[in-house]
Structure 1
Amino acid sequence: GIAAMALLALGGELLGVGLGWISALSSPVSVVSWFMPFGVAAGAFGPLVEALGGPGGAVEGGIKTAGILLGFAGAAWCILTTRTLSGEARLALAFVCVVAMSPVVYPWYGLWVLVILAVVGIADGAAMSLAVSATVFLVGVNLLEPMAVVHSVASGLPRLLVVVVAVVGILGVLAPGLQGLAGTDPFRALRAPRHQFSAARQPPA
């Protein structure tokens, strides 16, 4: 353990980045992503409470922290559950929990999840529809990322407009897939019999 830490510190010095990345781990409680549920909630309710004379900063920080804790709790449950799931499926679901509940992520975090799900296999139907919709949505957000829109919507009406657009976009793109999964067992999508998968993804005979 000590040797690994020493190598990590040495590598950081050689690359010129040191250990400054450790402080960057606090980003999830200092900024928000406008396309993530807890990010939208924190960015909307925090300023609203502050405008009403309340502790807006505390509310925003509390929402972000709650999202992070829920994400880790969900990930732990996915790893420790007694359901019949492969190790890859547990990893994919745990990653989904952490990413979905985090108040700030980069779009490609979600795309990494889809890569793991592709290895596990996704059943045709609502689960596949949601995966495709999520891919389209995240790619679209990724294309907008270089514009650094967040720096121009610090407060006021522009922030409200961004929140509204984000909510409408999320519901419009992802809602059909989520609706199809409503009331079903989401784990079944990751442990379906082989014949339930798309023929296009079947290995050649």
Structure 2
Amino acid sequence: GGVVGLRPPTRDPRVWAAWTASGIAAMGLLALGGELLGVGLGWISALSSPVSVVSWFMPFGIAAGAFGPLVEALGGPGGAVEGGIKTAGILLGFAGAAWCILTTRTLSGEARLALAFACIVAMSPVVYPWYGLWVLVILAVVGIADGAAMSLAVSATVFLVGVNLLEPMAVVHPVASGWPRMLVVSVAVVGILGVLAPGLQGLAGTDPFRALRAPRHQFSAVRQPPA
């Protein structure tokens, strides 16, 4: 997907041949790696896990977790409803990703890749928090316009980092309780304050996210060659 996303849509058969060759080569490397590790390709069946588990912070995961049990309680096919909602989210994510890659609108290759990845992550019923952080890394390369887009990116970063810290500590284990938990939280707070410190001078009337809102390229702009 990343290789395809870095090229605009075209009818040139040479480009489509290159895309096809890249896909075949990638699958060949996956198969070779699986054989060398002794796991084969059985892990591919695990890709069906999005319809058997759920992430509490994803929109389609929330909908499936709410409507599935409700239909079940009313005597209906709750499992089928839950699975249908999750599958619909996955299909919508792939459809959105395909549109982002193949649309003829003026978007740079990096922007297409970022939007396609964001569609798949946002519509999936189960993801790990760092999937969203990967999207933010690509968006940082593309450039995010100041204002609402930057505020959304910063808010999403804080939320996903918080979830990523919370989920491992939810496991019943000595390391996930007592002083180790407090140490992890303290390091996270100190780290966040360290990042935001340049924007915290004079707390009254100061935007704490100012240091993260430097002017950037417009998101939809095509990257211009250096002068």
Compute the TM-score of the two structures, normalised by the length of structure 1: 0.70
**Residue 20 of structure 1, CA deviation:** 2.4
TM-score where L is the length of structure 2: 0.64
Which region of structure 1 is more displaced relative to structure 2, 91-100 or 16-25? 16-25
Partners of 2:72 and 2:179 in 1: how far apart? Answer: 14
**Residues 130 and 178 of structure 1 are in contact (CA less than 8 Å); yes or no, is this contact kept in structure 2?**
no
Task: List 4+ stretches of structure 1 deviating above 3 A.
Answer: 1-10, 147-205
The residue that corresponds to 1:203 in the other structure is 225
Which 5+ residue runs of structure 1 have no aligned equivalent? none
CA RMSD of aligned residues (A): 9.3
Over 3 Å counting, the alpha-carbon distance change for 1:200 and 1:164 in structure 2 is farther
* 2: CA distance, partners of 1:168 / 1:177: 15
How far did residue 66 of structure 1 move? Answer: 0.7
Asked if the contact 1:134/1:174 (under 8 Å) is kept, the reply is: no
1:29 Cα offset (Å): 0.9
Count the aligned residue pairs: 205
- Percent sequence identity over aligned pairs: 96
Q: Verify the 8 A CA contact 1:74 1:97 in the aligned structure 2.
A: yes
Q: Is the 8 A contact 1:72 1:98 kept in 2?
A: yes
Residues 31-53 of structure 1 show CA distances to partners (whole Å, capped at 9, x for unaligned) of 11111000011011101110111
Distance 1:88 1:51, change over 3 A: same
Distance of aligned partners of 1:74 and 1:177 in 2 relative to their CA distance in 1, 3 Å threshold: farther
Distance in 2 (alpha carbons) for counterparts of 1:180 and 1:68: 46
Instruction: Render the CA deviation track for 1:47-101: whole Å, top value 9, x for unaligned.
Output: 1110111100000001001101111111111112221110000110111110000
Q: 1:189 Cα shift?
A: 18
Structure 1 residues 63, 202: closer, same or farther in 2, change over 3 A?
Answer: same
Structure 1 distance, partners of 2:181, 2:80, is: 19
Query: Is the CA contact 1:107–1:142 (under 8 Å) kept in the aligned structure 2?
Result: yes
Deviation at 1:19, TM superposition (A): 2.0
Which has the higher mean CA deviation after the structures are superposed, 2-11 or 188-197?
A: 188-197
Contact between 2:61 and 2:126, CA under 8 Å: does it hold in 1?
Answer: yes
The higher radius of gyration belongs to 2
Q: How far apart are residue 11 of structure 1 and its match?
A: 2.4
Change (3 A) 1:52 1:34: same
CA apart distance, 1:198? 16
Would the aligned equivalents of 1:123 and 1:189 in 2 still touch at CA under 8 Å? no
Cα distance, 1:15 vs. partner?
A: 1.7
Rate the CA distance shift 1:127–1:200 in 2: closer, same or farther, 3 A. same
In 2, Cα distance between equivalents of 1:50 and 1:81? 40
- Cα distance between partner residues in 2 of 1:82 and 1:137: 33
Q: 1-side partners of 2:201 and 2:219: how far apart? A: 20
- Answer yes or no: is the 8 Å Cα contact 2:144–2:216 preserved in 1: no
Q: 2:93 touches 2:119 (CA, 8 Å); kept in 1?
A: yes
Return 5+ residue gaps in structure 2 as ranges: 1-22
Q: Which deviates further from its counterpart, 60-69 or 76-85?
A: 76-85
Task: Note the alpha carbon deviations across 1:1-31, whole angstroms, 9 max, x for none.
Answer: 8886565334223323332211111011111
